[in-house]
Structure 1
């Protein structure tokens, strides 16, 4: 379990971190990561979007699945940002 590993990292360092995380997965490890960086979410195998807000207004699973599926979910406040990180266009074609 890794909590917010991209905090304070330069985008180049985020790319290096992603390389290391993918190497762990390729070696057979499972990586569970909590982060708000959409580059990381877009590079993930599975995303769980919890919300819809914070505190008392959050706490339920809004969307889960591969990044493209979450990016196409109209109920997700994360979707537009994830869509942009994936290269855009998903929301326009699926809603």
Structure 2
């Protein structure tokens, strides 16, 4: 059964992943399955909410495939990710 994870935790985990894996891209489902190592199964809407927030803040960008599928990749610099993670640690 999927559990509720604080959205801030999901954002931090994704930011850390993107900091270490600058050239990765994946679908929201792939991100949920492979990028998020939270130790629990999470609902699909949770990573999408975090992805949307990261996209609104210029951390990730959406790419459209020829079939209309959406993939996400890092668009932020290391410095931007460092700032996000520093700010998140103060929450």
Higher helix fraction (1 or 2): 2
Q: Which structure would you say has the larger RCO, counting Cα contacts within 8 Å and 6 or more residues apart?
A: 2
Indicate whether the TM-score tops 0.5: no
TM-score bracket, normalised by the shorter chain, equals: 0.3 to 0.5
- With normalisation by structure 1, the TM-score equals 0.32
- With normalisation by structure 2, the TM-score equals 0.33
